[in-house]
Structures are given as structure tokens and as C-alpha cells.
């Protein structure tokens, strides 16, 4: 497999399809791209639509897709051997660094975090610490990648809004108690806007740098059209990962 940065959409075969939870599948492609965790690609099905998805693995190129609408529904119908088109990688991903890190995912926002955990583990020094993970969802069936994080031997905290798994409440509640009891150098997160906002304030209150990956409706994906604007910033070009506050000397 050759690593390519795709300009127009490139076709790739689906090598494998796995179920991750009640509504999420992983599509593993017969392709690889030079991506870092947090970057995204535009997935295209001719005649259907094209939308941005977090890259969940670089080699082989992998996407975790929750069935939440007509296009993700169409992606769910694909089988191994079928063709899926992608262009990317686009945007700025997470910047990894040594030190104790906390990975926070809400709902299908956990999609890039397993890839990130693998990168952090690969980059860590001999005595470097393992990342801690906190994943939240509405209910147990919506939790994503918990077995994968645990299989990596990572301390994985779970919160569900209905209390069906882990602690009852929002993932930010679990994060607040983690931040009170342990020291972290940085927080990496991906999830709904409300979660990112709450997490941003939690981290700001503790002067803890947080890299937050935002989701946005995208059209061009290449910094031109302005469709994904988020307070004067373009999620596709300036993000999707934004650091708050900006890390000095990083």
C-alpha cells in the first residue's frame, strides 16, 4: 500500500468492516495516508454525498462511522470489496507531547482517540506515562471503543447519562473528579460542542492546556467557502483541533 495525499477523491477498496457498537462500524480500507490523529478526510459515495470524517487509523486507513443520517446510513451498507472514495488528510490534528495526558471522548467523538492513544503510546519514552481515557455517551449501547482502550491496558473511565454503564452523568463530571484527584499535563478531546465548551472551562480553571477537536458541517474542506466557520475560524483549515489556551513554546 502506498501512502498518498489525495487531491481529487481516490477510490479505495473496503478490506474489512467491523461493528464497534450498536450504531457504529469501522471501515478499514486497502489504503494508507500520511495522517496524524485529529485530521479528517472527506468521504465520497458518487451520486450520494461527500462528508468529513475523523481519521481513526492511518495504516490501514480506517474510519469509525456512526449511523446518524442518510449518508452515514449509506456508508453502513458498504461491504468488504466495495469501493469508498476519500480525499485528505485535511486540517490540523492533535500535537502529541510527553507527559500525563487525559483523552476525553463524547459519543462518536471517541473516533480519533484510539488512533491518538496508539500514537501517544508509541511516542512515549521508557518511563513515560500511559494516557488516561474518559469516554461518555447517552447510554451503554452508544459507548465507543471501550474494549479497545482497555485492551491497550489504559485506565479507562466511563460515564453514561442514564447510568447504564460506568458513573451516571456526563463525561465532564467524570473528568472534573479526575482533574481534582490527579495531575495531567494536557487534555485531548473530541465530542459535541457542549461537551467541548464545558471541558474548555474545566481546563481553563486549572490552567491546563486542552486540544479540542470540533465538528462542523463542511462543504469545500480546503479553507475557501466559509461553511465550517466557528467564531471567525475555519474548522477545516484552522482546526478541527484547536488548543485552548495556545501552548507556549510548543
What minimum distance in Å lies between the beta carbon of 235 and other proteins?
A: 12
The whole-angstrom distance between residue 222's C-alpha and the CA centroid of its chain comes to 19
**Pick 21 or 92: Cβ nearer other proteins:** 92
d(CA 141, CA 145): 11
Closest by alpha carbon to 43, among 25, 55, 60, 32? Answer: 55
Give, as ranges, the residues between 84 and 143 that touch other proteins (CB under 8 A): 85, 87
What minimum distance in Å lies between the beta carbon of 201 and other proteins?
A: 22
Closest by alpha carbon to 185, among 102, 75, 127? Answer: 102
What minimum distance in Å lies between the beta carbon of 60 and other proteins?
A: 19
Q: In this structure, what are the phi and psi dihedrals at residue 11, rounded to the nearest 5 degrees? A: -80, 145
Residue from 40, 44, 108, 145 in contact with other proteins (CB under 8 A):
44
Cα Rg of the chain (Å, integer): 17
d(CA 54, CA 92): 11
**Pick 71 or 184: Cβ nearer other proteins:** 71
Give, as ranges, the residues between 24 and 43 that touch other proteins (CB under 8 A): 42
Alpha helices in the chain (DSSP H): 70-76, 113-123, 146-151, 171-181, 193-205
What minimum distance in Å lies between the beta carbon of 223 and other proteins?
A: 5
Q: Does 68 bind other proteins (CB under 8 A)?
A: no
CA angle 154/159/160 to nearest 5° reads 140
Count the residues of the shown chain that bind other proteins, applying the rule CB under 8 A: 29
Q: Does 83 bind other proteins (CB under 8 A)?
A: yes
What minimum distance in Å lies between the beta carbon of 54 and other proteins?
A: 17
**Pick 97 or 220: Cβ nearer other proteins:** 220
206 to 235: interface string for other proteins, x by CB under 8 A = ------------xxxxxxxxxx-x-xx-x-
What minimum distance in Å lies between the beta carbon of 162 and other proteins?
A: 35
CA angle 58/103/21 to nearest 5° reads 65
- Stretch of 1-9, 60-68, 121-129, 158-166 lying at the interface with other proteins (CB under 8 A): 1-9
- Stretch of 8-16, 23-31, 138-146, 155-163 lying at the interface with other proteins (CB under 8 A): 8-16
Q: Which residues pair with 97 in a beta bridge?
A: none
Q: Does 1 bind other proteins (CB under 8 A)?
A: no
Range 76-79, long-range pairs (CB < 8 A, 24+ positions): 76/25, 78/14, 78/17, 78/27, 79/14, 79/17
Interface residue list for other proteins (CB under 8 A): 7-9, 11, 42, 44, 46-47, 49-51, 83, 85, 87, 218-227, 229, 231-232, 234, 237
Amino acid at each position: 500500500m502506498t501512502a498518498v495525499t489525495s487531491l481529487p477523491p481516490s477510490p479505495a477498496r473496503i478490506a474489512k468492516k467491523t461493528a464497534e457498537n450498536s450504531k457504529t462500524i469501522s471501515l478499514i480500507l486497502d489504503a494508507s495516508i500520511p495522517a496524524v490523529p485529529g485530521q479528517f478526510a472527506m468521504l465520497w459515495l458518487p451520486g450520494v454525498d461527500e462528508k468529513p470524517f475523523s481519521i481513526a487509523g492511518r495504516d490501514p486507513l480506517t474510519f469509525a462511522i456512526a449511523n446518524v443520517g442518510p449518508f452515514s446510513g449509506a456508508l453502513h451498507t458498504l461491504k468488504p470489496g466495495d469501493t469508498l472514495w476519500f480525499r485528505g488528510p485535511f486540517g490540523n490534528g492533535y500535537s502529541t507531547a510527553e507527559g500525563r495526558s487525559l483523552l476525553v471522548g463524547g459519543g462518536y467523538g471517541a473516533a480519533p482517540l484510539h488512533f491518538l492513544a496508539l500514537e501517544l503510546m508509541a511516542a512515549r519514552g521508557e518511563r513515560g506515562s500511559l494516557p488516561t481515557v474518559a469516554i461518555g455517551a447517552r447510554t451503554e449501547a452508544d459507548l465507543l471503543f471501550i474494549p479497545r482502550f482497555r485492551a491497550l491496558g489504559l485506565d479507562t473511565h466511563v460515564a453514561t447519562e442514564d447510568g447504564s454503564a460506568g458513573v451516571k452523568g456526563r463525561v465532564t463530571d467524570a473528568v472534573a473528579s479526575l482533574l481534582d484527584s490527579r495531575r495531567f499535563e494536557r487534555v485531548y478531546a473530541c465530542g459535541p460542542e457542549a461537551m467541548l465548551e464545558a471541558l474548555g472551562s474545566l481546563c481553563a480553571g486549572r490552567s491546563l492546556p486542552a486540544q479540542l477537536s470540533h465538528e462542523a458541517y463542511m462543504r469545500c474542506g480546503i479553507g475557501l467557502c466559509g461553511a465550517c466557520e466557528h467564531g471567525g475560524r475555519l474548522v477545516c483549515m484552522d482546526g478541527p483541533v484547536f488548543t485552548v489556551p495556545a501552548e507556549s513554546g510548543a
